[in-house]
Amino acid sequence: MEVLREKVEEEEEAEREEAAEWAEWARMEKMMRPVEVRKEEITLKQETLRDLEKKLSEIQITVSAELPAFTKDTIDISKLPISYKTNTPKEEHLLQVADNFSRQYSHLCPDRVPLFLHPLNECEVPKFVSTTLRPTLMPYPELYNWDSCAQFVSDFLTMVPLPDPLKPTIKKEEKVLPKKYTIKPPRDLCSRFEQEQEVKKQQEIRAQEKKRLREEEERLMEAEKAKPDALHGLRVHSWVLVLSGKREVPENFFIDPFTGHSYSTQDEHFLGIESLWNHKNYWINMQDCWNCCKDLIFDLGDPVRWEYMLLGTDKSQLSLTEEDDSGINDEDDVENLGKEDEDKSFDMPHSWVEQIEISPEAFETRCPNGKKVIQYKRAKLEKWAPYLNSNGLVSRLTTYEDLQCTNILEIKEWYQNREDMLELKHINKTTDLKTDYFKPGHPQALRVHSYKSMQPEMDRVIEFYETARVDGLMKREETPRTMTEYYQGRPDFLSYRHASFGPRVKKLTLSSAESNPRPIVKITERFFRNPAKPAEEDVAERVFLVAEERIQLRYHCREDHITASKREFLRRTEVDSKGNKIIMTPDMCISFEVEPMEHTKKLLYQYEAMMHLKREEKLSRHQVWESELEVLEILKLREEEEAAHTLTISIYDTKRNEKSKEYREAMERMMHEEHLRQVETQLDYLAPFLAQLPPGEKLTCWQAVRLKDECLSDFKQRLINKANLIQARFEKETQELQKKQQWYQENQVTLTPEDEDLYLSYCSQAMFRIRILEQRLNRHKELAPLKYLALEEKLYKDPRLGELQKIFA
Amino acid sequence: MNQPCNSMEPRVMDDDMLKLAVGDQGPQEEAGQLAKQEGILFKDVLSLQLDFRNILRIDNLWQFENLRKLQLDNNIIEKIEGLENLAHLVWLGSSDSHASASQVAGITDLSFNNIETIEGLDTLVNLEDLSLFNNRISKIDSLDALVKLQVLSLGNNRIDNMMNIIYLRRFKCLRTLSLSRNPISEAEDYKMFICAYLPDLMYLDYRRIDDHTKKLAEAKHQYSIDELKHQENLMQAQLEDEQAQREELEKHKTAFVEHLNGSFLFDSMYAEDSEGNNLSYLPGVGELLETYKDKFVIICVNIFEYGLKQQEKRKTELDTFSECVREAIQENQEQGKRKIAKFEEKHLSSLSAIREELELPNIEKMILECSADISELFDALMTLEMQLVEQLEETINMFERNIVDMVGLFIENVQSLMAQCRDLENHHHEKLLEISISTLEKIVEGDLDEDLPNDLRALFVDKDTIVNAVGASHDIHLLKIDNREDELVTRINSWCTRLIDRIHKDEIMRNRKRVKEINQYIDHMQSELDNLECGDILD
């Protein structure tokens, strides 16, 4: 917890520093304290100052000593740098100053809580709070602004309650309840009297409901926070204050580290501020917090409102640049301070904390172990790091009906990096309706798919990204008996197609594999206005009544008309009395025309129109059938995708992209090998001999020969030396063994079994060594001449000794 | 000639021939039976082919109003005529009009029965494809109306002058041109010349023009083409200038103050006034005239500017009015449409209910209900319409009042300004008279220093003459001013009455149309219901 807290501070600071804002860690406590807690202090009234100080300092220590209790086990302190384990003289000095300050403070304000000045760190070393902050700039753009930065920190933090909620760094926050009951707006009625009556009635109902609500809420509240109430105003919490002025921050505000939300300084959840600190200084709030933080003035330069600990920051409005320039040189105010002289020339020591480093993986993982569960009232939010779950799940919000979180109302699951572009899955447990939301890029251009079951011919709504589809389909709604499709942006101006099906006819044929489509009873198609055609020729709606063999047409309405032309075709083919087929009779086409025209009355025209419509009907039926097939296909695809749930990996993601990883590793290996080879070639056997000669000159033949001889003789000497060395060791080892054996034989009788064991093990080891040495010697003897020859060969080929080649060539 | 085709008598395009052709080329099979049953009207025909028929004269085509494609190839037509009514024609082929004779004979005998000039195509503005292959045309001409021309086939003709190509530059859409077997195609520069002068052309003599050729041609004829282009540009600029001027004048005319933004009126006053001009040579009159003109022109410009402003005002008034009226009508239409849609929904369901009902009394009851619904709809629609009529009537009256007021105000102000002009004129007249009389006295006394023009001196014979002369000049001036004023007033008044008349007429037309539409619809609904009744009873 402690470490985490510090990290938080650092990150916050990092951002803050970068932002050149002033962020303060504020510690909130209710000013009023119960008497019993402070009994000891209160009894110490007006004794000598020294006694008081002593007592107080003791109390301070006990307070801070408790802190590490819950952090010890989690941190390996041995790896921490030295600055964590010791205090520099300057820090010691600072602690003294802080102690002094604290003593004065408790003398002046005996009623208030002791200051939170120097808690023990993870190595149980007292550290002043300001020095735990180290401004750091992180390489992530998300951490540049406060909101995303705070979100990151809150993700990273896990709330662990303090053993004693009254001691420092305890969280005390209530969630703001979501508004559940929004009252319906009053209905608009004609009669004012009735309206008034209604309003009255509604008000009554509302009052009742409110009452009921309040009662319920009260009941809930009681159930929820019976305990917190007892300690209301006593709990402690640390949070961040951002001061206005820099980086276009218009006004002061608070950030709660656990939620990452910002609050106004007027927010009533913050009951008061005991003290503030940043990495430069420490301030105590001298203002009354009876009205929460609403009346506080955050002018840290005002010593009446904010008692500072270190001199040098008493500007009317604090700013980093100013402070950097002037530092502690303002001698004028010394008298007003009422502090000891040593204070005035004291500057806050540099932070002892290591610079925080967040690896890209850790940054991506965000929460510890990549998983975080936040329990809300009637809701649970789970978060995972990307790629942690194999199905791409990154967060899940479960809402419950009851407080005990047993009856699930609905589940929302967010996904990332899914190959099928699934973004959000919404399951409503009460209606059992599942809705999948997709990002652009699904192979079937899906946008939303809501369904109750994956069986075909059931209720479902599929929405598409219509621009990604050739046919411009926007939405397809299905019920067991109908299918409705909505289109947009088609060249034939089709906007809507509705097909209703009849019950499936049982087929007598045995082949069950053959698809048995439901018979289509009716197809309704609607069209947008085609501006290229006159309105009375532009069909707005056509209905194919397949079963009745009728086709109804409704045309678009002309701009200055209110009625539209209609036409109805009966496509029954009949046979006249003589047995001839009737091609077309006037009663096969009933039409209403807004402005009757001559050519449309012609049978030929009607016949051609009907023929055209017949073809269109066939096409439409085919389209409906294809749509049905497509639904089947989509369902199949979805099932496959759900089963496979493969994740996409960006080509820039070097760690996860297997291919690029392999490639990169291969490259690295090659580089390494190349490097080795280079090192080898760079090992220059001639260098020590060439160094004796004047540089830059070409070697004469004689010099070259001499050089070669010298080099070879030197190498020979080395080989001999090596052989001698091995020989010497071998001899030494054998001698020792012999000695030991002698000693054993002499003292064999008196030896204890332990000594004998020791001796035996020594013997076997020595024998092993001797054997190894022997082997090495033999191999050396074998290899030495070969090595010698190889060097000679190399020397002949060396370009620097080119003269040699001339001689021997 | 001994060809069988040629031995055939020239034929006349009579009704029978056309009917036969239409019948042959019309719909086939079932549709053909239908067509035969009821006959085809010539105006419904879109495409007509009349080839190899020895037609001598194009005739009887005036009924084919909607014809898109006409083929008259392989005939012996001599003159392009009778095509005036075929304004929708897109494709016209009268190529090889004499091919039957010439090709079979194997000799290029084009001495007779050929089209010699292009003519009679002025109304075919939609024509895109024109084929005049194998004729006796010697000059490309009279094609100005064919702005959409894309394909032009003039092969095997007698075009012999390259300058014909320049004529083709005006067809911006022309992409395909055929001029082979013409005298000009023999010229060595033929292809280059065409490519250079018709840079947008894609195909020449059935071959695609490649970019390389185009570039070469351009380089070769660059100088002359640049010159041509320059001339064309100048021409264009001049045309545009004229157009702009005309528009400006038009604008002034709509404001009824044309030619008042300068000394035009003043100049016209003196244009027919010889006495006035003569008198201006009198000593002192020159300066007088100068100041008079300045003042006069200032007033004219005032009138002009005032007129433009008023015109602007009237225009905005009219725009707001028509906008409001349109909105009101739109809203009304929407309401009507909604009512009808609602009715239709109900009506359809009740109709199908009637169809399924078996009991006769029930059917009758339902039919009664239906017709009640229909009459209810009728009432509702008519109420809507009457409401609109009343509302519009009120608005129109208001607009009428306003516009009349505006016009009245304008006239009043213009008249007062004109009165100022008259005052100036009177003043000038008095001054002039004074000078004239004093000059006369001087002349009578004989101590006039300056020399006067003879014409002028002739006036100074006695007092009456000079007074008459000055008076005549004055009368002319006043007359001019009065005329201008009268013209302005009459024109604006007539504009105003025309506008109001038009608005009223439009409204009446709209109302009648709507009432007719509603009646028609209701009648249709009622008759549908009646038919159903009959059918049911018959069943």
Q: What is the ipTM of this complex?
A: 0.71
Question: Cβ contact (<8 Å) for B34 and A583?
Answer: yes
Measured distance CA(B312)–CA(B320) in Å, rounded: 12
For residue A485, pLDDT beyond 90: yes
Question: Cβ contact (<8 Å) for A560 and B333?
Answer: yes
CB B46 within 8 A of CB B68: yes
Measured distance CA(A270)–CA(A483) in Å, rounded: 57
The Cα of A538 is separated from the nearest Cα of chain B by a number of Å equal to: 17
Measured distance CA(A118)–CA(A92) in Å, rounded: 11
Q: Which of B31, B41, B329 sits opposite A608 (nearest CB)?
A: B31
Question: Cβ contact (<8 Å) for B40 and A563?
Answer: no
Q: Which two tokens stand for residue B152?
A: 């032009």
**Burial class for A239, CB neighbours closer than 10 Å (0-12, 13-18, 19+):** buried
Q: Which two tokens stand for residue A377?
A: 């009232």
Q: Which residues of B touch A541 (CB under 8 A)?
A: none
For residue A66, pLDDT beyond 60: no
Strand B176-178 relative to strand B203-204, pairing: parallel
Interface list for chain A against chain B, based on CB atoms closer than 8 Å: 557, 560-563, 583-584, 590, 592, 594, 599, 602-604, 607-608, 611
Per-position b or e across B205-229, b if 16+ CB within 10 A of its CB: beeebeeebbeebeeebeeebeeee
Question: Cβ contact (<8 Å) for B340 and A563?
Answer: yes
For residue B335, pLDDT beyond 80: yes
CB B143 within 8 A of CB B118: yes
The whole-number pLDDT of residue A574 equals 62
Q: What share of chain B is helix, strand, coil (3-state, %, to 5)?
A: 65, 5, 30
DSSP letter at A359 equals: -
Cβ-Cβ contacts under 8 Å between A and B: the total is 50
- Lowest-confidence segment of A182-191, A593-602, B310-319 by average pLDDT: A182-191
Q: Which of B34, B514, B524 sits opposite A584 (nearest CB)?
A: B34
Output the average pLDDT for chain A.
75
The whole-number pLDDT of residue A795 equals 79
Q: Which of A561, A594, A604 sits opposite B34 (nearest CB)?
A: A604
pLDDT tens per residue, range B104-155: 222 233 333 467 777 777 777 788 888 877 788 888 887 888 888 888 888 7
Q: Which two tokens stand for residue A100?
A: 């002094």
The Cα of B517 is separated from the nearest Cα of chain A by a number of Å equal to: 7
- With H, G, I as helix, E, B as strand and everything else as coil, classify residue B345: helix
- Lowest-confidence segment of A234-243, A611-620, A630-639, B306-315 by average pLDDT: A234-243
Q: At A22, which helix (H) or strand (E)?
A: strand A22-28
Dihedral of CA B247/B253/B257/B263: which sign? positive
The Cα of B293 is separated from the nearest Cα of chain A by a number of Å equal to: 55
- Lowest-confidence segment of A22-31, A232-241, A695-704, B316-325 by average pLDDT: A22-31
Measured distance CA(A520)–CA(A546) in Å, rounded: 7
The whole-number pLDDT of residue A166 equals 56
pLDDT band at A562 (very low <50, low <70, confident <90, very high): confident
Q: At A526, which helix (H) or strand (E)?
A: strand A520-527
Output the average pLDDT for chain B.
82
DSSP letter at A333 equals: T
Q: Which residues of B touch A594 (CB under 8 A)?
A: 517, 520-521
For residue B508, pLDDT beyond 90: yes
Least Cα distance to B265 among B491, B487, B492, B481 occurs for: B481
Measured distance CA(A136)–CA(A144) in Å, rounded: 11
CB B202 within 8 A of CB B175: yes
**Burial class for B13, CB neighbours closer than 10 Å (0-12, 13-18, 19+):** buried
DSSP letter at B310 equals: H
Strand A564-570 relative to strand A589-592, pairing: antiparallel
Residue B77 dihedral angles phi and psi, to the nearest 5° = -75, 140
pLDDT band at A174 (very low <50, low <70, confident <90, very high): very low
For residue A337, pLDDT beyond 50: no
Q: Give the C-alpha distances (Å, rounded to integers) separating A583 from A423, A484, B27.
A: 57, 34, 14
Q: Which residues of A touch B329 (CB under 8 A)?
A: 560
For residue A64, pLDDT beyond 60: no
pLDDT band at B435 (very low <50, low <70, confident <90, very high): confident
Q: Which residues of A touch B33 (CB under 8 A)?
A: 583
Residue A207 dihedral angles phi and psi, to the nearest 5° = -60, -45
Residue A113 exposure: Cα atoms within 13 Å on the Cβ side: 26
Q: Which residues of A305-357 form beta strands (DSSP E)?
A: 306-308
CB B260 within 8 A of CB B303: yes
Q: Which of A560, A563, A607 sits opposite B34 (nearest CB)?
A: A607
Measured distance CA(A111)–CA(A33) in Å, rounded: 7
> Between these two residues, A234 and B244, which has the higher pLDDT value?
B244
Find the residue in A nearest to B43 (Cα): A599
Number of Cβ within a 10 Å radius of residue A37: 12
Question: Cβ contact (<8 Å) for A561 and B518?
Answer: no
CB A71 within 8 A of CB A2: yes
Question: Cβ contact (<8 Å) for B31 and A594?
Answer: no
Q: Specify which residues A553 forms β-bridges with.
A: A542, A567
For residue B482, pLDDT beyond 60: yes
Question: Cβ contact (<8 Å) for A583 and B30?
Answer: yes
State which amino acid sits at residue B330: Q
Q: At B534, which helix (H) or strand (E)?
A: helix B463-538
Q: Specify which residues A496 forms β-bridges with.
A: A486, A526
Q: Could you tell me the end-to-end alpha-carbon distance of chain A, in angstroms, rounded to an integer?
A: 79
The Cα of B533 is separated from the nearest Cα of chain A by a number of Å equal to: 16
For residue A287, pLDDT beyond 90: no
Q: Give the C-alpha distances (Å, rounded to integers) separating A195 from A187, A200, A208, B535.
A: 8, 8, 19, 52
DSSP letter at A426 equals: E
Residues 6+ apart with CB under 8 A from A782: none
Query: Which residue is listed with tokens 């007021």?
Result: B405
As a three-state string, the secondary structure of B408-433 is HHHHHHHHHHHHHHHHHHHHHHHHHH
Which of B29, B33, B34, B515 would you mutate first to test chain A, the one with the most A CBs within 10 A? B34
Q: Residue range A255-261: average pLDDT?
A: 80
Q: Which residues of A touch B37 (CB under 8 A)?
A: 603
Q: Which two tokens stand for residue A426?
A: 């919404």
Strand A371-376 relative to strand B55-57, pairing: unpaired
CB B8 within 8 A of CB B54: yes
The whole-number pLDDT of residue A318 equals 44
Question: Cβ contact (<8 Å) for A562 and B333?
Answer: yes
The Cα of B30 is separated from the nearest Cα of chain A by a number of Å equal to: 7
The Cα of A542 is separated from the nearest Cα of chain B by a number of Å equal to: 15
Question: Cβ contact (<8 Å) for B44 and A599?
Answer: yes
Per-position b or e across A455-485, b if 16+ CB within 10 A of its CB: eebeebbbbbbbebeeebbbbbbbeeeebbb
CB A92 within 8 A of CB A147: no
Question: Cβ contact (<8 Å) for A563 and B518?
Answer: yes
State which amino acid sits at residue B234: L
Q: How many percent of chain A have pLDDT more than 90?
A: 12
CB A152 within 8 A of CB A220: no
